[in-house]
Structure 1
Amino acid sequence: MNALVPVGEENTQLAGLDGTQKAAILMMLFGETAASSVLKELNPGQVQDLGAAMYGVRRISHETIAAVVDQFLEELSQQTNLGIGAGNYVRTVLNDALGPDKAQSVLSRITPSSAEHPIEIFDWMDAKAICELIMDEHPQIMALVVASIDTQLAAEVLRLLPESTQPDVIFRIATLTNVQPDALKDLEKVMQRKFKANTTLRASQIGGIRSAARIMNFTKQDMEQRIMKAIKGEDKDLMENLQDNMFVFDNLIQSEDRALQTLLREIEPEVLTLALKGADDQLLRKLLGCMSSRAAANIEDEMEAMGPVRLTAVQEAQKQIVAVARRLADAGTITLAGRGGEEMV
């Protein structure tokens, strides 16, 4: 079997690699646990061939890794209806296998250059990278980017932006409607400087009150208050509309017990205890009623032993629970009812 060496020219990256060698490269990216699971499904001869190939990929170049992964994803997308554009999953796998710096080098070569979603490429980046990319851009460009990515990631990007810019970005997101191709062309210029990407131009539904409210749901309490205060100075009605669409801790009382039971299983006991210190009695009883008698009794004992706590600490704990609730709702795991949640019919 030929030893693998770094490949310099793009059109020769895959030259000399057979299927076993490509599989070996992928196996090295999978990590020990996943790779072991794959090996268990192979016969002895296949294990021997693949194991030998894995020894040969130790000096493989990042360019070759990128080419193999790119080809694997392309072939897989032609054979399955699964959502291959799962940027978060691929990024996590590569980060675990290569470390963040090397993974970003690979991702910059294999991320999709076109997609139905005009700026899907940002889903492959972390908050710091996105922030650095848009930091010097016009606030309208910032708003387009922040409005188009996952809400939790968007909140982190918003946090990294200058405080003086944050209210303007949320204001623009809240007042976005249909984004026309001309606006996306400006956004393309931002992307092309780093990725040399091309996107399909079309009118896109980006932003709006609900989008801005969802992002605000993931911000910290002091940041939320500061942004809301600044927006109120510009447009009081918009600020009130944003508040009406935000899902807050008190809205949990309108959700079904089954959804709350699922939510509570995702919350650390100490976070829940702190959050319930600031809950009204009706909500407190409802949430404790969604727990086992023993767990509820433990929470009540912890609350009593905790004594007085800072209001800001309670608010932050409640925001954490709201963020988890939003994540579960967006994933379709639970249905929320109430302000900013799903309408119940």
Structure 2
Amino acid sequence: MDTTTDGLKKAAILMITLGSEASSKIMKMLPDNIIQKISYEIANIDYVKPEERDTIVNEFIEMQQAREYIIDGGIDYAKSLLNKALGPQRAKEVIDMLNQIQLRERPFDIARKADLQQLTNLLLGEQPQTVALILCYMQPEKAAAVLAEFPIEQQSEIAERIGTISHTSPTIITKIEKVIENKFSNYVENKTEAVGGVQTLVEILNSVGRGTEKNIMQVLEERQPDLADEVKANLFTFEDIITLERSDVQKVLRDVNKDDLLLALKGVGEDIKDFVYSNLSNRQVETMKEDMQFLGPARLSQVEEAQQKVVATIRKLDEQGEIYLRRGESDVIIS
């Protein structure tokens, strides 16, 4: 639960909205210090505006949906479903908010971040009830992998204890967490975090101007041709529009600004123009060809800017799950 002042006020309003019966059941599961803070907020709320109440209830529902999606299929699965339900911007806000809250509220965060083998080695010497408690707070897939490393006779004992845990004193959790953190501290302090890499570079290049992208790729091809090939295999450019499925191209053409498309096509070969035309009606093609004749010469920078706008539309549809882009050797489907 978010324990900032704003978070406590939201929790208090939610409790008031849910009513005394439901709220009392929730309160019983909270630590004493949080109960005191929320109770103080409730006591100091005289009136709740209907729109404020509705916003907080909707936020609570969205957060719960996000939690369930993450538990069911992980963060990418949650993002995909939330994108469909809430749109990409709101989905990102909910995921970010949930991540911030979980970082503050969930015990044994150090165990969730630890290397699987190191975690297993350290837990093998712990009591079954301690292992069971820690696994309850871990990612299901990681908890399953840890459990599988224990001797068979211990697996069933730990599983039984997990199944029978209902409530645990916050004091006990804190004590166990401190012991575990002390054991993990040396490992975590020395652990390096994965940053950078090809995918990070691709994401950056996907956001820069076309001229900057070309300059960077040209230097990469000269200095590190293998890296350049790997980046190009994952980088979507305007010319890659021919790799899209017909149905996806038609979605793009419905969303893209027609003037941008017209200008973007001035800088490509006939094969790409023909591909785009093949996804338009005969009347639309005739109109575009006429407009292109009247358009006259255009600066390269203008053409590249228009191509970048079209690519931005393609990437937006990709992020929303409306289309999918081929990257590297396999198709990445975002639905």
- TM class, shorter-chain normalised? 0.3 to 0.5
Provide TM-score, normalisation by structure 1.
0.46
Structure with higher Rg: it is 2
Greater fraction helix: 2
Normalization by structure 2: what TM-score? 0.47
